[in-house]
């Protein structure tokens, strides 16, 4: 594993003809068990916060939807909300809150809970088949963006340099036959040159000769 400022390279070799390179801003854990526990707790907290945000707005809106309805149905809805909440503290809190405070705050909570706090991009090399690039979405409910390039269309894998602002940045690119533009690997993170060189050497070795 090669570590850079806020970036980490993970290399996985499932077979002599397959290699996966993943660049991530998520800090690796020394213990797999600790990583799984922290992952579970973090996602549990996200789910609970989203659940409470939605229910808080449901409590706030119940009177609006039931203005012209019967007291019996109002009673049943209150019973359902109380059962879902399991406690009356959030209902009393939302009833004292104004819409212009509760709704934006709830939307902010949901947004932060559904947004990833890391960026992860990968390159999968399959000898004889091709390569696949992948970039995780900014949000948990969206699938990653992937691009597959068959071996027959790959002309070369190179490291280029370009200006980004006033700085010179290196990037790994795949030259595709018949394409007007190259396919940039790790386009969001643009790792430093040492990481790109390791990926370039390992990717070419697997693609053209296999890993022994």
**Boundary residue ending a domain (63, 98, 114):** 114
Residues composing the chain:
212
Q: Which of 17, 20, 41, 18 is nearest to 29 (CA)?
A: 41
User: pLDDT by residue for the chain (212 residues), tens digit each?
Assistant: 444 447 999 999 998 899 999 999 988 777 778 888 888 898 999 998 998 888 888 777 765 555 545 555 555 556 655 655 545 666 677 777 787 888 899 999 999 999 998 899 999 999 989 999 999 998 988 899 999 999 999 999 999 988 777 778 899 999 999 888 999 999 999 999 999 999 999 999 998 875 54
User: 13 CB contacts (<8 Å, ≥6 apart)?
Assistant: 19, 20, 211
The whole-angstrom separation of Cα 203 and Cα 122 is: 12
**Boundary residue ending a domain (114, 134, 155):** 114
Instruction: Report the CATH number at residue 140.
Output: 2.30.29
Q: Are residues 75 and 155 in the same domain?
A: no
Q: Does residue 80 fall inside a structural domain?
A: yes
Q: Which of 182, 206, 179 is nearest to 123 (CA)?
A: 206
Could you give the number of structural domains in the chain? Answer: 2
Q: Are residues 98 and 129 in the same domain?
A: no
User: Which pLDDT belongs to residue 89?
Assistant: 65
User: 177 CB contacts (<8 Å, ≥6 apart)?
Assistant: 152, 153, 154, 155
Q: Are residues 102 and 69 in the same domain?
A: yes
Q: Does residue 3 fall inside a structural domain?
A: no
**Boundary residue ending a domain (114, 143, 174):** 114
Q: Are residues 187 and 169 in the same domain?
A: yes
What is the domain extent for residue 172? Answer: 8-26+119-209
Residue 177: burial class (beta carbons within 10 Å; 0-12, 13-18, 19+): exposed
User: Which pLDDT belongs to residue 147?
Assistant: 94
Q: Does residue 1 fall inside a structural domain?
A: no
User: Which pLDDT belongs to residue 154?
Assistant: 94
User: Which pLDDT belongs to residue 29?
Assistant: 75
User: Which pLDDT belongs to residue 64?
Assistant: 56
Tokens describing residue 78:
């209150």
Q: Are residues 43 and 98 in the same domain?
A: yes
User: Which pLDDT belongs to residue 4?
Assistant: 42
Summarize pLDDT for 153-170 with one digit per residue, the tens. 999 999 998 877 777 889
The whole-angstrom separation of Cα 19 and Cα 45 is: 34
The pair phi, psi for residue 202, each rounded to 5°, is: -65, -40
Q: Does residue 79 fall inside a structural domain?
A: yes
Q: Are residues 195 and 174 in the same domain?
A: yes
């Amino acid at each position: 594993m090669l570590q850079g400022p806020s970036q980490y390279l993970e290399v996985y070799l499932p077979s002599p003809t397959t290699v996966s390179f993943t660049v991530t801003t998520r800090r690796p854990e020394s213990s797999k068990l600790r990583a799984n526990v922290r992952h579970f707790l973090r996602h549990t907290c996200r789910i609970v916060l989203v659940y409470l945000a939605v229910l808080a707005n449901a409590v706030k809106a119940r009177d609006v939807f039931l203005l012209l309805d019967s007291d019996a149905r109002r009673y049943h809805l209150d019973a359902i909300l109380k059962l879902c909440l399991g406690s009356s503290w959030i209902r009393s809190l939302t009833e004292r809150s104004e819409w212009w405070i509760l709704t934006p705050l709830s939307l902010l909570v949901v947004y932060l809970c559904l947004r990833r706090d890391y960026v992860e991009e990968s390159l999968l090399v399959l000898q004889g088949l091709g390569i696949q690039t992948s970039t995780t979405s900014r949000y948990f409910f969206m699938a990653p963006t992937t691009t597959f390039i068959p071996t027959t269309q790959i002309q070369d894998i190179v490291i280029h340099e370009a200006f980004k602002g006033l700085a010179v940045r290196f990037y790994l690119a795949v030259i595709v036959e018949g394409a007007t533009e190259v396919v940039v690997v790790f386009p969001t993170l643009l790792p430093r040159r040492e990481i790109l060189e390791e990926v370039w050497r390992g990717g070419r070795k697997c693609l053209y000769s296999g890993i022994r």
